[in-house]
Amino acid sequence: MNNQYSPSGFSFLPTAVKNLLIINAICYLAYFVLGKLGYIDLNYWLGVWSLDTGMFRVWQPFTYMFMHGNFEHLFFNMFSLWMFGATLENVWGTKRFLFYYLICGLGAGLISILIPGYHVSVGASGAIYALLLAFGMMYPDGYIYLYFLVPIKTKWFIIGMVVLELFEGFFRTSDGIAHFAHLGGMLIGFIIIMIWKKKGRLF
């Protein structure tokens, strides 16, 4: 694997990333406007519910990843989608990137339905964590700037995120965040990457 990311000649906003940004923005706008007008809560129907609630529907593990609870949630997920996704799509190509993103997001959604007590989950975080993992596996010695100021190698950042998610998943179960779904997205991403690597199709 390459150790450093060099974006020379890469598209700043490749096709799949651009369209995912647009779709997520439209879905949030629809959720916000329709909710404010009192018509319908889209997150209620399109978010993914855990099985113990009795509210689970078959489409939810797919649709939940395009819904977000507030603007901050949307902004940080979409910023991360662009930050890591643009690089990966340029390296992998649009079809492979979109397959990876959607399968990891779908897998994280399916994992979340098995976790009791989380009720409804929304957001692209499961897929985003998978993108972070892929970026780190491909460029482990590249740098991420924590809070835009503190440089940290990607491999250490990912290890730290995994440890944090495990801790919060076990000990902060009341925060309403599906931490194990995030880890599930990373696990599925890891499996996909290892299969591609074994077949010599990572790049």
Q: Does 169 reside within a domain?
A: yes
Q: Are strands 143-146 and 120-121 parallel, antiparallel or unpaired?
A: unpaired
Print pLDDT tens along the chain (203 aa).
444 444 445 788 999 999 999 999 999 999 999 998 989 999 999 999 988 888 889 999 999 999 999 999 999 999 999 999 999 999 999 999 999 999 999 999 998 888 766 678 899 999 999 999 999 998 888 877 776 677 888 888 888 888 877 776 665 655 556 667 888 899 999 999 999 988 876 65
Q: CB within 8 A of 61, min separation 6: which ones?
A: 48, 106, 109, 110, 112, 113
CA-CA distances (angstroms) from residue 77 to 31, 36, 53, 176? 17, 23, 26, 17
Q: How many helices (H) and strands (E) does the chain have?
A: 8, 4
Render pLDDT for 140-167 as a digit per residue (tens, 0 to 9).
Answer: 888 777 766 778 888 888 888 888 777 7
Distance CA 155, CA 5 (A): 13
Structural domain boundaries, residue 157: 15-198
Q: Does 97 reside within a domain?
A: yes
Q: Does 8 reside within a domain?
A: no
Q: Does 39 reside within a domain?
A: yes
Render pLDDT for 40-61 as a digit per residue (tens, 0 to 9).
Answer: 999 999 999 988 888 889 999 9
Predicted confidence at residue 119, as pLDDT, reads 76
202 burial via Cβ count (<10 Å: 0-12, 13-18, 19+):
middle
Q: Is the separation of the CB atoms in 189 and 130 below 8 Å?
A: yes
Q: Does 10 reside within a domain?
A: no
Q: What is the pTM of this model?
A: 0.87
Predicted confidence at residue 65, as pLDDT, reads 96
Q: Does 2 reside within a domain?
A: no
Q: Output the domain CATH number for residue 47.
A: 1.20.1540.10
Q: Does 36 reside within a domain?
A: yes
Domain count, the chain: 1
